[in-house]
Amino acid sequence: MDIFNEIKKKLSHEFIDIIEWLDATNDTIVHRFERYQNEIKNNAKLVVREGQTAVFVNEGQLADVFTPGTYTLNTKNLPMLTTLKGWKYGFDSPFKAEVYFVNTRLFTDEKWGTKSPFVLSDDRFGLVEIRAYGTYSFRIEDAGKFVIDVVGTDGNFTNYEINEHLKSLIVTRFTDTVGEANLPIELYAANNTELSDTCQEVMQPEFARVGIELEKFYIENVSMPEELKKEIFEYSRLDKLDMAKLSQFKAAKAMEAAAKNEGGTAGAGMGMGMGFVLAQQMGNMMNPLATQPVTAAQTPQAAVPPPMPPQVSYYYAVNGQQNGPVPFDKLKELFANRSINRDSLIWKQGLSNWVALKEVEELKSFLGGNTPPPLPTT
């Protein structure tokens, strides 16, 4: 009898489990510890290293969570499993549980970006399309919640699997935040730091819902169409530069270009003449008093017609898709061939929202009703 007890003790000692995980990858977030039929002996050793958390799951339920340290698994430190399993067969019998090791280190330099441009409304430039991209970093804050809500039964969960979900979340919240910021379009690139901090604050609760902490969020670039960039640069220059100096600069550049012209002296003379005319016209624009006669003997300036009024451009919606811009005549043609109708949504510079065609004053002429009333009877 004593011989059998010694053999039993020896076998019990030899088959005590050591449960641990040495991460040999750079992208694994959760690793499931594999044991035949998930059996773990009572008094098994659990080793949880720094940067890890061990999560015990029993029949789909969160049983226990272990932070870094070395543990002997028994009824004293597994109260939840003790209740669930009952330890029916004594302390030497194995119990079944799934053990998930969660990597809690910081995952850095994760990429995000808008797959397609999104539309913003600017007071000066109308509807514009912009793109954005950057990086973010995260860590698993609540390992139990993350395993239950996200990982499920995945035995080897990598950051690639969660990144696709996180990128979609980031782009959605980023678009909402930028739209609500209502900044002038040229300031988005100049306020990346402030905008990044605001986006991180908005996104953090969404990450926390599945046990993730958004450690850092960076906007590296906000881009827009090249033609819009040129308009913004020109607008900025006109807003900052002295127009008199600008006219002198352009006249000098015209003279320099004329000197290099293949036409030689004649070409240079023509270029210089055009440069002087340009300088005079720019000076007159900036100083209207210079065009007024000083004495009655002076010959009056020839009348110059005012500049043509700017042409209004319209955007219109067909089947939920934005089209345009088109001029008034083209919009009238689209109405005539029934591509659009009185209820089609229209937007132009100065409107705060899209409105029906029938509500735009100058477009009401499309609808008819311009026939004069009958003459009064005498």
Residue 294 lies in a domain: no
Residue 162 lies in a domain: yes
Residue 301 lies in a domain: no
Residue 288 lies in a domain: no
The pLDDT tens digits of the residues spanning 209-241 come to 999 999 999 988 887 777 776 776 666 555 555
Model pTM score: 0.52
DSSP string, 66-81: E-SEEEEESTTT-HHH
Are residues 206 and 260 both part of a single domain?
A: no
Q: Domain boundary at 227, 255, 274, which? A: 227
Give how many domains the chain has, as a whole number: 4
Are residues 168 and 205 both part of a single domain?
A: yes
Residue 309 lies in a domain: no
Q: Which DSSP helix (H) or strand (E) runs through 258?
A: helix 243-259
Are residues 55 and 85 both part of a single domain?
A: yes
Are residues 248 and 357 both part of a single domain?
A: no
Which domain range does residue 253 map to?
Answer: 241-283
pLDDT above 70 covers a percentage of the chain that reads 67
Are residues 119 and 223 both part of a single domain?
A: yes
Are residues 137 and 217 both part of a single domain?
A: yes
pLDDT of residue 3: 56
Q: Domain boundary at 183, 200, 227, which? A: 227
CATH number at 136 reads 3.30.479.30
Are residues 36 and 11 both part of a single domain?
A: yes
Residue 304 lies in a domain: no
Task: Name the more confident of 354 and 224.
Answer: 354
Residue type, 166: L
Are residues 219 and 154 both part of a single domain?
A: yes
Are residues 81 and 156 both part of a single domain?
A: no
Residue 306 lies in a domain: no
Cis? peptide before 325, omega within 30° of 0:
yes
Are residues 119 and 146 both part of a single domain?
A: yes
Number of helices and strands in the chain (H, E): 9, 18
Burial 75-93 (b: 16+ CB within 10 A, else e): eeebeebeebbebeeeeee
The pLDDT tens digits of the residues spanning 158-196 come to 888 888 888 888 988 888 887 776 777 766 766 778 888
**What is the Cα–Cα distance from 146 to 128, expressed in whole angstroms?**
39
**What is the Cα–Cα distance from 90 to 260, expressed in whole angstroms?**
101
Residue 164 lies in a domain: yes
Are residues 135 and 219 both part of a single domain?
A: yes
| For residues 354-363, average pLDDT | 91
Radius of gyration of the chain (CA): 37
The pLDDT tens digits of the residues spanning 103-126 come to 999 998 899 988 888 887 777 777
Are residues 92 and 25 both part of a single domain?
A: yes
